[in-house]
Amino acid sequence: MAGQLPHDERSWPERRDRALQNNTLRQTMGFVARRFTLAKREVYRANPDIEASRKTAVGQKRQAIRDLPELLERFRTQAESHGAHTYLATHAQDAVNVALNIAGANQTKLVIKSKSMVTEEIELNQAFERAGIPVRETDLGEYIIQLAHEKPSHILAPAAHKNRHQVDDLFQEDALRQNITPPESDEIEDLTRYARERLRKEFLHADMGITGGNFLVAETGTLVLITNEGNADMVTSLPPVLVSIVGVEKIVRDWAQLTEIIQQPAMSGIGRSLSSYTTMIHAPASNSSAPEGPKEWHIILVDNGRMALRDTEFEDVLSCIRCGACLNACPVFREVGGHAYGSVYSGPIGIVETPLLTDFEILPELPSALCTLCHACQEACPMDIALPAHIVSLRRTVVKRHLNSGTANWTLKTWARFWSTPRGYRRSINLARVIQGVYGKKRHAPGLIPGIFAGWGQTREIPQVAPQTFHEWWKDNGSKLDKK
């Protein structure tokens, strides 16, 4: 059954144009993506042995996905034996309802969160806010976009589309609302100091902590979080109630498999040997020897269309470890950023996951509009997911289901009919000459290219039509050559 994903209601041309007109976004996204890509190259060069580990991890993760029902059951059994409560949410709303029920049962007044894409997927924050329960993001990037009322623009760096001057403006406005001292300047040190002091009170007064999860170890029922700021340690240890919301595909069989794969998100995503913090949660404090920590631990395992991908040609998509390497390598993503995709999941993996998880109910244009099939994502992906092949397959599905607009279908069929014969091709050349004669040799004339190709002409110089094709020249001059 299809899952549910939030999406931008604006059309693709609107999203595209807004991104291309935002010079700050294009500069910052391009800088971040290139920096991460170069760092990845260097860390692999410095650690040549990691390639063998990566290949082992790919095979093991594929097997874990094939054994997913069995491993999920084992994980739940082990986690519950340690005092945790587990739930399997078939749909996004099911996960939201479970989390709200837990908050209600504990009379929650304030929630603190660590970074989690699956909570963005199910729109958890909005549901809690509607229920009158404030939620505070504690990852710096997530905190920034929460103040801006925006969605993450990058899987790893949610606020990568903003520069420090824009962040300072947001913090200045927040300080004014809260009647507190604003940042001293827009220097990074002052901005992070403000965020740290601003969030400290939230950490100490929160009733509930919410996390995502990078890996689920079936062997022991352990949740593994990897972060670079340490905020997840505060979220998982200070509030009396902890809720972890994790996609079912995060499962690994045992600790041996975890050791093979745990370096990959940091190495492939940001070019580091390991993330700054690795947090492993095994049991609530009430059921362990730990003197501190949450008294209750609830684990919500989210399906939302994932299980339907098993035993299909797209099964390898469930191996994604959310490292962001495909985003960093993608030339389209570098130009338009994550918001232009209109989905929670952007970049090449978002192009594939969004239609698959929702069965094309939203954003059917993604496979055709935001991919050049350059295969950079295939080379960058540490889990060897066949992203270009999947995108081509999804394009076929779009055509078979008639999901393109009527205008697009008619235009492409007419174009194919013309160019499938020499006579039709020659007629199109003659037509192009007529149009060029009307507009002269203008290279950026508005309206020069009509219909679905108009956007192409807005951003590129229009090539001039040759005054004479080779076939035309040969018709006029070939006989002369024969005589010689």
Separation between Cα atoms, residue 326 and residue 417, nearest integer Å: 36
Closest CA to 351 of 296, 393, 303: 393
Mean pLDDT of 320-328: 96
Residue 443: pLDDT band (50, 70, 90) is low
pLDDT at 317 > cutoff 90: yes
CATH assignment of 321-400, among 1.10.10.10, 3.30.1280.10, 1.10.1060.10, 3.40.140.10 = 1.10.1060.10
pLDDT at 287 > cutoff 70: no
Closest CA to 282 of 72, 84, 68, 70: 84
Position 440 scores a pLDDT of 62
Lowest mean pLDDT among 167-171, 352-356, 410-414: 410-414
- Quote the radius of gyration of the chain (alpha carbons, Å): 26
Please name the residues in contact with 157: beta carbons below 8 A apart, sequence gap of 6 or more: 32, 141, 324
Separation between Cα atoms, residue 317 and residue 349, nearest integer Å: 8
pLDDT at 375 > cutoff 60: yes
Q: Which helix (H) or strand (E) holds 247?
A: strand 241-247
What count of other Cβ atoms lies within 10 Å of the Cβ of residue 347?
29
Percent of the chain at pLDDT above 90?
Answer: 76
Q: Which helix (H) or strand (E) holds 267?
A: helix 264-269
Please tell me the pTM assigned to this model.
Answer: 0.89
pLDDT at 211 > cutoff 90: yes
Instruction: Pick the most confident of 216-230, 280-294, 449-463.
Output: 216-230
pLDDT at 441 > cutoff 80: no
Please name the residues in contact with 251: beta carbons below 8 A apart, sequence gap of 6 or more: 64, 65, 68, 71, 72, 75, 215, 216, 218
pLDDT at 438 > cutoff 80: no
Mean pLDDT of 69-81: 97
Backbone angles phi, psi at 63, to 5 degrees: -65, -35
Q: Kindly write down the DSSP assignment for every residue of 23-54, as one continuous string.
A: HHHHHHHHHHHHHHHHHHHHHHHH-TTHHHHH
Residue 289: pLDDT band (50, 70, 90) is low
Q: Considering all CA atoms of the chain, what is the largest pairwise distance in Å, rounded to the nearest integer?
A: 101
Q: At the fourth CATH level, which superfamily is domain 12-308?
A: NagB/RpiA/CoA transferase-like (3.40.50.10420)
pLDDT digits (tens, 9 = 90+) for 151-168: 999 999 999 999 999 999
pLDDT digits (tens, 9 = 90+) for 42-68: 999 999 889 999 999 999 999 999 999
Lowest mean pLDDT among 118-132, 234-248, 253-267, 464-478: 464-478
In 293-421, alpha helices (H): 325-329, 331-336, 347-358, 366-369, 376-380, 387-400, 406-419
Position 273 scores a pLDDT of 87
pLDDT at 444 > cutoff 60: no
Q: Kindly write down the DSSP assignment for every residue of 58-122, as one continuous string.
A: HHHHHHHHHTHHHHHHHHHHHHHHTT-EEEEESSHHHHHHHHHHHHHHTT---EEE---HHHHHT
pLDDT at 307 > cutoff 70: yes
Q: Where are the domains of the chain?
A: 12-308, 321-400, 420-483
Position 357 scores a pLDDT of 96
- Return the exposure string of 131-162: e unless at least 16 CB atoms fall within 10 Å of the residue's CB, then b: eebebbbbbbbbbbbbbbeebbbbbbbbbbbb
